[in-house]
Amino acid sequence: MTALLQHPGYDEESLKGVAEKLPCREVQAEMLLSLMGQPHQYSYPSILIYGHRASGKSHVMHVLMKELELPHATVSCVECVSIALLFEQVLLSFFGCDAASLLPRSPSLSDFVRVYRQQCSQSPAKQTRYIVMEKAELLRDTDASLLSALLRLQELVGDNVTVILLSEIAWDKFRPNTGCFEPLLLHFPDYSKSELQQILSQNVHPSYSAGFYSAYINILLGVFYSVCRDLRELQHLAALNFSKFCEPLAEGKVKETDTHKLWKHIEPHLKKAMQTVYLREVSSLQWEQMQQMEEKEAGALRGLSAHTHVELPYYSKFLLIAAYLASYNPARTDKRFFLKHHGKIRKTNFLKKNEKTSNHLLGPKPFPLDRLLAIFYSVVDSRVTPTASIFSQISSLVTLQLLAQVSHDDQLDAPKYKCAVSLDFICAISRSVRVCACTLILLMHMNETD
């Protein structure tokens, strides 16, 4: 049941519309309205709203500003890469294009205050103006005086304006070392499991009953809640996996009330999806296409996870293939495998004791960077110039945990790596580039059986 918001400055109909659009955030919305005060009175100069990602901060502010028709300027600190864009966005929202054009090419804080004062004298505020700063923690990377000025902007411009900062970090880690005006603080806690259940269950599919969709959300949260409490990510996962959940129902094998059978059907699918939580490697359509492809190639690709189908840049695939060959092939065989005119190599039957064992059973061996690049230039089917892009792709593979760096970070001259993916992964990657890559893997197997 939706709680009713109460505030003497707004009519009940508007507050009822706000409460309906803010499930499980009525308490925070009512507290924020109390801090904002009456619309025609001066409000507190600055308010900091903080909480983890996807805790409803931006959504609550957007609904309040839109439903209550409050004059506001919403500024994303991610999009405003310069102070000039920030000042221009505020003036554009409050006073129009003409006011924004009065700013010089590289405006300073004093230029912004001067133009704001001029425009404010021509069109004074009839009610409180609000400047909503999203991702406000990025203000710490700008000029040190900007944050301090925004916190007391009401005093600087002489206008009824309140700056509301939305941040994912607490004020103790946000406060400048030089000191500043202290804003009012409002914390948005994470959604509980029951609140997530209530919010996610509102997106009922029109073809199914509310109880059926609620049971699906309950199963979804039972799997993902321990590793993911991000509302946006859970909404993405719910939309991604619902069609798979409904397959037995569409085929007429079960009824909506057979929750246990539906759970048995969706359980392996959800466990597979747990490997790509937060990665967003594929869209919903691509995910469905990928599942259909896996079902067709179940014999050849059995046991592969969704991670096998990660779409990598073209040269990153060859780098990964080269890394696998370097990890599982002895260095003494590089000349025989990767040189076209390697000359005559004397064959010997002498093998060390550990070389009689399959390299896959021994695990990946570390290899230096120069060996990786040498194999890469031999494997790739075109002439590649060694550029910074190639080295940055190696770093990206380490970040994705497809490669593991085994040397210390201070060893810049000769870093060493290990390949952290399986043979099935490399086979899938090889099929997406050239057949010659698969041939190299077959040569490697021939080397193991020598």
Q: CA-CA distance, 320 to 120, in Å (whole number)?
A: 60
* Mean pLDDT across 302-326: 71
- Beta bridge pairs of residue 417: 367, 405
Enter the DSSP assignment of 182.
P
The pLDDT tens digits of the residues spanning 179-211 come to 789 999 999 999 999 999 999 999 888 888 899
Highest mean pLDDT among 9-18, 25-34, 281-290: 25-34
pLDDT surpassing 50 at residue 305: no
pLDDT surpassing 70 at residue 434: no
Highest mean pLDDT among 2-16, 29-43, 313-327: 29-43
Look at residue 131 and give its three-state secondary structure.
strand
Q: Helices 231-245 & 284-296, crossing angle to 10 degrees?
A: 40
pLDDT at site 306: 42
pLDDT at site 392: 85
* Mean pLDDT across 76-95: 91
* Mean pLDDT across 400-414: 74
The answer to whether 321 touches 430, Cβ cutoff 8 Å, is: yes
CA distances from 336 to 310, 341, 350, 378, 447 (A): 31, 9, 17, 12, 10
Give the residue extent of every domain in the chain. 12-187, 194-294, 314-339+360-446
* Mean pLDDT across 149-156: 93
pLDDT band at 413 (very low <50, low <70, confident <90, very high): low
Torsions phi, psi for 408 (to 5 deg) = -70, 155
The answer to whether 47 touches 165, Cβ cutoff 8 Å, is: yes
The answer to whether 302 touches 360, Cβ cutoff 8 Å, is: no
| Cα-Cα end-to-end distance for the chain | 72
pLDDT at site 347: 53
Q: Provide the token pair at 395.
A: 């770093």
* Mean pLDDT across 317-337: 84
pLDDT band at 3 (very low <50, low <70, confident <90, very high): low
pLDDT surpassing 70 at residue 5: yes
Rg (CA), the chain: 30
* Mean pLDDT across 161-167: 95
Question: Range with the lowest mean pLDDT among 139-148, 294-303, 415-424?
Answer: 294-303
Decide yes or no: CATH 1.10.10 for domain 314-339+360-446: yes
Q: CA-CA distance, 10 to 63, in Å (whole number)?
A: 14
Identify the residue whose tokens are 């909404």: 235
> Is-above-0.85 flag for pTM?
no
Q: For all residues of the chain together, what is the average pLDDT?
A: 81
Q: Provide the token pair at 448.
A: 């193991």
* Mean pLDDT across 307-329: 79
pLDDT at site 307: 46
pLDDT at site 358: 58
pLDDT over 90 percentage in the chain: 32
Q: CA-CA distance, 191 to 418, in Å (whole number)?
A: 40
Is there a shared CATH topology between the 12-187 domain and the 314-339+360-446 domain? no
**Cβ count near 398 (within 10 Å):** 15
**Cβ count near 376 (within 10 Å):** 23
CATH number of 12-187: 3.40.50.300
Q: Provide the token pair at 109.
A: 């804080």
Enter the DSSP assignment of 308.
G
pLDDT surpassing 60 at residue 435: no
The pLDDT tens digits of the residues spanning 96-119 come to 999 989 999 889 999 999 999 999
Q: Where are the alpha helices (DSSP H) in 171-313?
A: 193-200, 210-224, 231-245, 247-250, 259-273, 284-296
pLDDT surpassing 70 at residue 43: yes
